Amino acid sequence: MAAHSNPSGQPLVDGPRDPEHDPTASWALEPSFVDSLTRRVVSTTGETRPTMSPLNGQPLAHIPQSGPDDVAEAFRRARRAQHAWLRTSLEERSAALLRLHDLILDHQDQLLDLIVLESGKARKHAFDEPLHVALTARYYGRTAEKVLRTERRPGVVPGLTRVDVHHPPKGVVAVISPWNYPLTMALSDGLAAIAAGNAVVAKPDAQTMLTALYAARLLEEAGLPADLWQVVAGPGSQLGPQMIERADYVCFTGSTATGKKIAAGCAEQLIGCSLELGGKNPIVVLRDADVERAAEGAVRACFSNAGQLCVSTERMFVADQVFDRFLERFVARTEALSLGASTDWGVDMGSLISQEQLDTVERHVEDARAKGATVLTGGRARPDLGPYVYEPTILLGVTPDMLCFSEETFGPVVAVHRFHDEAEAVARSNDGDYGLNASVWSRDTARARRVAEHIKCGTVNINEAFAATFASLAAPMGGMRQSGLGRRQGPEGLLRFTETQSIATQRLVRFAPMLGMSDEAYAKVMTAQLRLMKRLGRA
Ligand code: NAD
């Protein structure tokens, strides 16, 4: 058993770690450790909700639930803390983020245990999460000051109108996140909000509360004021509207269906929101692609986190010229993946998170099979490995009448299609309502970039699955069309959490006739001025 320990020195995961050696494996969390986390939920209802681990279906924790009064209290506390936070310098905020960077890396074993226990994903896919959060903390820790700095812009009368543009924070940001990346989704967006001077009230998904609460603890250790990051727990359909009513901005990650409800609620309150939603992401393998490299990348694109990844691939378009060679390599590499439900390293693809996810995956595959698709590999659940383990599945002959043609499966299922020319590949990639992420493979990167520019997705990766854009923190990330509104990452991901305030100071001249000048004479002078300014090349 690997020796992980929580900050009190106790093992975080207690019990056999490898179900292959002990099929009755149980991963018990020390009750006092669980208690130290769940106490952070703002809750006075006395109600709790049990969670269980997808690794073995056994109980994991009882999460206290928040009622309407608790949501109100969380916002009250956050608002108070935000007023004090606003007075801290940008250097202090950045220093806290850089301390968090180190804490995340120092505590990665505990975080990985919690992520795997709550989500069932393979440990190697869980590692993407502390990695992404550390990158985010470092990026905003190092750049927020420059992006948020008050900026001088040209005034209307050169030399006499001074314009300063400020970026004050929105106030209290509601962060509502899904279960698929329990650490990244609960934390990364909120870090940008904090860096911009806001407080956060977070509502992580019910299944992955412990990871989110552990993250809240690390934020406090990094030096954030205790009340700046509030956590509430409960059904999104109940807490969501209560949060929207009190928030100054909503940052939502989840399904398109829920995103539309959030947008409607925010419209009612006339507050802004960013929506990171679903996708049906394509890969395009061009005729000159390095087939071996593309097949390796395609496996990561389709089966990372068992396909429960917003940017993972569910549609593949492969050029005629390389179709057979690519498919043979892709199937072979997929069949070589080791599956399992374990907190240990060494599993290539882990479990789905729940019966609900398993049901969707089975429904989509059975529907495709019944309507004539061929299952090249996979296509069945593996209860012998874990209650929700499903084999990585490659389908051929998927047609528009099948559910998995255009609906997001959010599981380890991909449909492979053949194309004859690039224009056709682009058109088919752009088919459907989503526009989150795409991936293009070619030895000619300039050509691949030209193809990429025609794909209507917020991010496109060339010769990589999704990590090149997702881990390039300086680049904005988000969806076009039904995949969302707004962008995370980059300056855009920070500025969404701010207002823009312009303060103009006028000297000497005024914007009205002076020295007894008539309105008509004033209009003539101003008209001549406008003409002169244009001739001088002024903006
Ligand atoms: P979901 O929309 O069901 O739930 C997401 C969160 O919203 C949860 O915390 C949930 O409790 C809450 N919620 C549910 N109903 C709500 C309501 N009426 N008001 C407010 N909050 C509510 O999504 P899910 O099934 O948990 O997550 C999977 C989906 O998320 C997939 O579609 C996936 O593509 C998407 N996703 C997108 C990104 C991205 O960056 N674009 C990242 C991860 C996941």
User: Average pLDDT for residues 10-34, to the nearest whole number?
Assistant: 60
Q: What confidence category does residue 515 fall into, taking pLDDT thresholds of 50, 70 and 90?
A: confident
pLDDT at 539: 86
Q: Please provide the size of the chain in residues.
A: 539
C-alpha 179 to ligand 1 mean position (Å): 8
C-alpha 177 to ligand 1 mean position (Å): 6
Name the token pair of 61: 């924790």
pLDDT at 9: 37
C-alpha 178 to ligand 1 mean position (Å): 5
Q: For a pocket test of ligand 1, which of 253, 354, 361, 469 has the largest count of ligand atoms closer than 8 A to its C-beta?
A: 253
Q: Is 180 in the pocket of ligand 1 (CB under 6 A)?
A: yes
Name the token pair of 139: 């990026």
Least confident of 8-17, 252-261, 291-300: 8-17
Tell me which of 118, 129, 276, 314 is the catalytic residue.
276
CA 340 to chain centre: 25
Q: Which letter, b or e, does each residue of 275-308 get, where b requires 16 or more Cβ atoms within 10 Å of its Cβ?
A: bbbbbbbbbbbbbebebeebbebbbbbbbbbbbb
User: Average pLDDT for residues 71-88, to the nearest whole number?
Assistant: 97
Q: Is 179 in the pocket of ligand 1 (CB under 6 A)?
A: yes
C-alpha 205 to ligand 1 mean position (Å): 8
Q: Is 182 in the pocket of ligand 1 (CB under 6 A)?
A: no
Q: Write down all domains in the chain, each with its CATH number in brackets.
A: 67-277 (3.40.605.10), 281-478 (3.40.309.10), 510-539 (no CATH)
C-alpha 443 to ligand 1 mean position (Å): 37
Contact status, residue 494 vs residue 147, Cβ threshold 8 Å? yes
Q: What are the DSSP calls for 469-532, one per residue?
A: HHT-TTS-B--SGGGEES-BSHHHHHHTTB--EEEEEE-S--SS--TT--HHHHHHHHHHHHHH
The Cα-based distances of 498 to 116, 189, 217, 286 in angstroms read 34, 13, 25, 41
pLDDT at 174: 99
User: Average pLDDT for residues 428-457, to the nearest whole number?
Assistant: 98
For 521, other C-beta atoms within 10 Å of its C-beta total 11
Residue nearest ligand 1's atom 14 by CA:
236
Instruction: Quote the pTM value.
Output: 0.95
Answer yes or no: is pLDDT of 4 > 60.
no
Q: Is 277 in the pocket of ligand 1 (CB under 6 A)?
A: yes
Name the token pair of 69: 């009064």
Ligand 1: atom nearest CA of 484 is: 41
The one-letter amino acid code at 231 reads V
Query: Running DSSP on this structure, what letter comes out for residue 208?
Result: G
Name the token pair of 470: 């997702």
Q: Where are the strands (E) in 423-506, listed by range?
A: 437-441, 459-462, 484-485, 501-506
Residue of 440, 451, 469 whose CA lies nearest to 283: 440
Residue nearest ligand 1's atom 35 by CA:
254
Answer yes or no: is pLDDT of 498 > 60.
yes
- Residue 266 among the catalytic residues: no
pLDDT in tens, 96-155: 999 999 999 999 999 999 999 999 999 999 999 999 999 999 999 999 999 999 999 999
User: Average pLDDT for residues 336-356, to the nearest whole number?
Assistant: 97
Answer yes or no: is pLDDT of 6 > 70.
no
Cβ neighbours of residue 450 closer than 8 Å, sequence gap 6 or more: none
CA 267 to chain centre: 22
Residue of 415, 322, 343, 424 whose CA lies nearest to 372: 415
Q: Is 408 in the pocket of ligand 1 (CB under 6 A)?
A: yes
Answer yes or no: is pLDDT of 307 > 50.
yes
User: Average pLDDT for residues 450-470, to the nearest whole number?
Assistant: 98
**Residue holding tokens 């043979």?**
328
Answer yes or no: is pLDDT of 159 > 50.
yes
User: Average pLDDT for residues 338-367, to the nearest whole number?
Assistant: 97
pLDDT at 18: 46
Instruction: Give me the residues paired with residue 374 across strands.
Output: 396
- Residue 424 among the catalytic residues: no
Q: For a pocket test of ligand 1, which of 136, 255, 281 has the largest count of ligand atoms closer than 8 A to its C-beta?
A: 255
Radius of gyration in angstroms for the set of CA atoms belonging to the chain, rounded to a whole number: 26
pLDDT at 501: 98
User: Average pLDDT for residues 369-396, to the nearest whole number?
Assistant: 98
C-alpha–C-alpha distance, residues 76 and 66, integer Å: 14
Q: Is 479 in the pocket of ligand 1 (CB under 6 A)?
A: yes
pLDDT in tens, 245-265: 999 999 999 999 999 999 999
pLDDT at 141: 98
3-state secondary structure labels for all residues of 291-338: HHHHHHHHHHHHHHHHHCCCCCEEEEEEEHHHHHHHHHHHHHHHHCCC
Mean pLDDT for the chain? 95
C-alpha–C-alpha distance, residues 289 and 291, integer Å: 6
Residue nearest ligand 1's atom 10 by CA:
236
Contact status, residue 189 vs residue 201, Cβ threshold 8 Å? no
pLDDT in tens, 187-213: 999 999 999 999 999 999 999 999 999
pLDDT at 215: 98
Q: For a pocket test of ligand 1, which of 189, 310, 355, 477 has the largest count of ligand atoms closer than 8 A to its C-beta?
A: 310
pLDDT at 12: 58
C-alpha 353 to ligand 1 mean position (Å): 14
Q: Is 435 in the pocket of ligand 1 (CB under 6 A)?
A: no
Q: Is 493 in the pocket of ligand 1 (CB under 6 A)?
A: no
Q: What are the DSSP calls for 70-136, one per residue?
A: HHHHHHHHHHHHHHHHHTS-HHHHHHHHHHHHHHHHHTHHHHHHHHHHHH---HHHHTHHHHHHHHH
Put residue 15 in one of left, alpha, beta given phi > 0 → left and psi -120 to 50 → alpha.
left
C-alpha 254 to ligand 1 mean position (Å): 2
The one-letter amino acid code at 216 reads A
Q: Which letter, b or e, does each residue of 123-154 get, where b requires 16 or more Cβ atoms within 10 Å of its Cβ?
A: bbbbbbbbbbbbbbbbbbbebbeebbeeeeee
pLDDT at 19: 42
